[in-house]
A and B are shown apart, each in its own frame.
Chain A
Amino acid sequence: MATEDLGSNIQGEQPDVEPTVETEEATVTEDAELERTIGLSGGLAIGIGTMIGAGIFVFPGLAAGEAGPAAAASFAIGGVVALLVALPTSELATAMPKSGGGYYFISRGLGTLPGAVVGLSLWFGLVFATAFYLVGFGYYAVDALALAGVSVGEWLVIPLALIFGAAFTLLNVTGTENAAKLQNGIVALLLSILVVFLGFGVLDAAGLVGEPSPPETFAPFGTLPIFTTAALVFTSYLGFAQVATVAGEMKDPGRTLPLAMVGSVVIVTILYVVTIFVATSSFGAERLAAEGETAMVVVGRDLLGPVGAFAIVFGGLLATMSSANASILSTSRAIYAVSKDAILPGWASRINLKYGTPHVALGLAGGPILLLTATGQVEILAEVASFLHLLMYGLMCVALIALRRDEPEWYDPAFRVPLYPVVPILGALSSFALIFLMDWRSQVIGAAIMLGTAGWYFYYARDVKLRGAL
C-alpha cells in the first residue's frame, strides 16, 4: 500500500504510512516493533476515568435545573447514543488497531477531507473538553478549601483551574513516571466511593432509611428539555472514544478494545442514571439546581453528613483531575495522528530525547486549553466539546457503512457490529440529532471550527490522499 502515491502537503511533506503486521502483543513495522502494553483494565480506566468526572461530579445540578428529575432520562438517552456509537467504533478499532482513533477510521474510510475536518476538530473538541473538566475541577477545589475552613468564594475557581491546567501540561512534558498505574488506582477508588454512596442513596430513596421526602413531578418542564439536556450532558460520554486513540498500544486488541469501549459506556451510564435518581429523589431537583456545579457535595452532606460531603469533594477533585489529565494526553495523540499524515506540519509531532515526551503537541494542547479555561463558560465549553465529538461519532458510523458496503481486502475486523446496518444508521442519526438540540451559541462555535478546519485542508493538505492508505 505504501507504494501508492499518497500526495503531499503544501510544504512537500508526505504522510508517513508504513506497512505493518499486527500481532496480539506488538505491531511489527519494517525495521522496528511497537510493544502493546495496555490491558483491559488499563483500557477501562482510560474510558471510565475520562468520563466519570463530568457526569457525576459536575452535571447533576446543571442538568436538574434544565430537566428536573427527568435529567435521569437525559443521561439514559446520552448513554444509549454513546452505546450506538461505541459498537461501530469497536468494529472499526479492531479492523484498524492504530493510534489515532476516530480520525484514523474516517480518513481511511471516507477520505482526506472528512478525515482532516474530524482530526483537527477532535483536537479542538478535546481542548474544549479539557477546559470544561478544569473549570469543574476549580469548583471542587474551592469547595475543598471551604471544607478545610478557608472560605474563598467563586472568584478563585478560574485561577485555580488555570494553575492546575498549566501544571498538568508541564507534568506531562517532564514527567516520566508511570501515571497509568496511578490512573487505574484512582478509577478503582472513585468506583468504590460511588458504589457506597449510591448504595446508601438508593436505600434512602426507597424510603428504607432516613426521612421520606415528598415525590416531585418527573418532567416539570416538558419533554423537549429532556432531549436538550441530553445534548448538554453528552460531554459525560466522550471518554470511550479516547480508548480508540490508544488502540495501537492495547494488548490483544480484537478482544480488549470492544470490551473496554462498550464496557466503560455501560458502567458509566448505570452510574450516571443512578446518581441522578438518588440526587433528585433525596434532595429535590430545584434545590439541586440552585447548587450548580458542586451540587453533589450538598447531596453527600444530606445523605451521609460531613463524611459524605468530604467523600464527594475528594472524589470530585480526583475525578475532574483524571478527566483533565486523560484529555490532555488524548489531545496530544490527536495532534500526532494528523501530523503523521501531513495534515499538520511534521514538527508538531516532534518528541524530545531527554524526556521522551511530545512537547510540541502537549504545548499545542495546553495553550488553547488555558485560553478556554479562562472563559469559565461551563455549559458552552461542554456543548462545543460534545458538538465536535458528535461530528466524529456520526462520521465514524458513516465510515463503517461505507466500508461495509464495499469491503476492501484489508478490512477484517475481529468484532462485527450486531444488527448491521440498524446500529450504525441509528448511531449516525442520533449523533447528528444531538448536535441540533444544542444551544445556538455552541452550534455557531462548533460550525465555525468545522469550516476553519475544512479551510485549512484546502489550503494546506488538499493533495494528500489517505483513503484506504493503511
Chain B
Amino acid sequence: MTRVLVPVAVLKGGSVSNGLVQLLSTMDVTVLGYHVLPEQTPPDQARAQFEDRANDALQALTAEFAAAGSEADHRLVFTHDRRKSIDRVAEETDSAAYAITGATGEVERLLVSLTGDVDVDRILGFVEELVGDREIGVTLFDAGGSTDGRLDVASESLSETGIETETQTGDGDSFDALIDAISGHDAVVMGEKAPSLGSLLFGEEADRVAAASVGPVLVVRSEKDES
C-alpha cells in the first residue's frame, strides 16, 4: 500500500486532527516526530533528555492512526534542519506523500491542485487510492495557463473510478487563486515543486498554502532522479 509521512513537531505540542487521521485511514502512515534544535545544541544532547517523552507522545499518535485502520509506525528524529529530515525519512520509507497537519473536521471534499509543472498522473493515482470507495468529493483545480486540457482528462479518469469530481479554474496569481478556491474544501492535495527563487524568498508553496488555509495539506512527492 502507499505510504504517507506525517511529520509532527512532537515536543512543541504538535498534534494531528481527527479529520486527518480519518482521511489517511486508507493509507499506510509513518508518523515522523521531529524536534528542531538550534545549532548550539548537539542533537544527541537533546535525545538524551527528551527521547522518552517524545516516544511516549509518538506512540499515542501512532495508536490513533492504527485505530482508524492505517498500518502505522513512527520514527523520531532530532535535527537542525526539518526540511532535510522530512526528505530523508520520506525517501527511506518510500512515502508517496507527506502531510502538513492542520485543523479540520471530517473531510468531505478535497481540493486537488494541478497547477504548474507537477506530475499529474502521480497526483491522480494518489488521490484515487486516498479516497478509495469513500464518499469524498474531489475538486480538480488549475490556476490557468495549462493548455494541455489536463483538467478535463484528469476529471474523466477520476470519474471513471467512481469518485464524484468537479473542476475549477482560477486566474491571476496562481497562489492567490488557489487560496481563494480553498473555501468549501477540507483539505488540499498538491504536488511537490522544484525549489525556485520564490520558494527561497517566501518559503515553500505547500507550507504557505497550509498557513493560509489552516487545514491539512498533502504534498505528493515527485519522483526522485537516481543520481
The reply to whether B38 and A175 contact each other, CB–CB distance below 8 Å, is: yes
A362 at the interface (CB under 8 A from B): yes
* A25, A34, A332, A355: the one within 8 Å of B47 (CB): A34
* B-side contacts of A249, CB under 8 Å: 42-43, 80
Q: How many residues of A contact B (CB 8 A)?
A: 38
A256 at the interface (CB under 8 A from B): no
The reply to whether B49 and A350 contact each other, CB–CB distance below 8 Å, is: yes
Cβ-closest chain A residue relative to B91:
A25
Given A351-B49, A355-B38, A356-B37, does the pair A33, B75 have CB atoms closer than 8 Å?
A: yes
Q: Which of A27-47 contact B (CB under 8 A)?
A: 27, 29, 31-35, 37-38
B169 at the interface (CB under 8 A from A): no
The reply to whether B40 and A362 contact each other, CB–CB distance below 8 Å, is: yes
Q: Which of B70-108 contact A (CB under 8 A)?
A: 75-81, 84-85, 88-89
Bound complex: CA of A174 vs CA of B76, how far in Å?
Answer: 25
A358 at the interface (CB under 8 A from B): yes
The reply to whether A34 and B43 contact each other, CB–CB distance below 8 Å, is: yes
Q: Which of B9-54 contact A (CB under 8 A)?
A: 11, 35-51, 54
Number of A-B contacts defined by CB within 8 Å? 97
Cβ-closest chain B residue relative to A29:
B47
Cβ-closest chain B residue relative to A26:
B88
A89 at the interface (CB under 8 A from B): no
Chain B nearest CB: distance from A33 CB in Å?
4
Q: Which of B43-67 contact A (CB under 8 A)?
A: 43-51, 54-55
A349 at the interface (CB under 8 A from B): yes
Q: Which of B86-136 contact A (CB under 8 A)?
A: 88-89
The reply to whether A35 and B79 contact each other, CB–CB distance below 8 Å, is: yes
A176 at the interface (CB under 8 A from B): yes
Chain A nearest CB: distance from B77 CB in Å?
4
* B-side contacts of A353, CB under 8 Å: 11, 50
* A-side contacts of B48, CB under 8 Å: 16, 340, 349
The reply to whether B40 and A332 contact each other, CB–CB distance below 8 Å, is: yes
* A33, A99, A351: the one within 8 Å of B77 (CB): A33
The reply to whether A35 and B40 contact each other, CB–CB distance below 8 Å, is: no
Cβ-closest chain B residue relative to A42:
B39
* A-side contacts of B85, CB under 8 Å: 33, 35
The reply to whether A35 and B49 contact each other, CB–CB distance below 8 Å, is: no
Bound complex: CA of A329 vs CA of B41, how far in Å?
Answer: 9
Bound complex: CA of A99 vs CA of B37, how far in Å?
Answer: 15
Bound complex: CA of A340 vs CA of B44, how far in Å?
Answer: 10
Bound complex: CA of A37 vs CA of B80, how far in Å?
Answer: 6
Bound complex: CA of A357 vs CA of B46, how far in Å?
Answer: 9
A68 at the interface (CB under 8 A from B): no
Given A31-B51, A34-B47, does the pair A358, B80 have CB atoms closer than 8 Å?
A: no
Chain A nearest CB: distance from B93 CB in Å?
12
The reply to whether B40 and A329 contact each other, CB–CB distance below 8 Å, is: yes
The reply to whether B42 and A99 contact each other, CB–CB distance below 8 Å, is: yes
The reply to whether B45 and A32 contact each other, CB–CB distance below 8 Å, is: no
Cβ-closest chain B residue relative to A171:
B40
Bound complex: CA of A336 vs CA of B41, how far in Å?
Answer: 9
* B-side contacts of A350, CB under 8 Å: 49
A179 at the interface (CB under 8 A from B): yes
Bound complex: CA of A91 vs CA of B77, how far in Å?
Answer: 27
The reply to whether A37 and B46 contact each other, CB–CB distance below 8 Å, is: no
The reply to whether A27 and B44 contact each other, CB–CB distance below 8 Å, is: yes
The reply to whether A33 and B44 contact each other, CB–CB distance below 8 Å, is: no
Chain A nearest CB: distance from B85 CB in Å?
5
A333 at the interface (CB under 8 A from B): yes
Cβ-closest chain B residue relative to A181:
B39
The reply to whether A32 and B47 contact each other, CB–CB distance below 8 Å, is: yes
A-B contact pairs, 26 of them (CB 8 A): A16-B48, A27-B44, A29-B47, A32-B51, A32-B54, A32-B76, A33-B75, A33-B76, A34-B44, A34-B47, A34-B78, A37-B79, A175-B38, A177-B38, A178-B38, A246-B42, A248-B42, A248-B43, A249-B42, A329-B40, A340-B44, A340-B45, A350-B49, A351-B45, A355-B38, A357-B38
**Which 8 pairs between the two chains have the least Cβ-Cβ distance?**
A35-B79, A34-B43, A37-B80, A33-B77, A32-B76, A37-B81, A176-B38, A99-B42
Could you tell me which A residues sit within 8 Å of B by CB distance?
16, 25-27, 29, 31-35, 37-38, 98-99, 172, 175-180, 246, 248-249, 329, 332-333, 336, 340, 349-351, 353, 355-358, 362
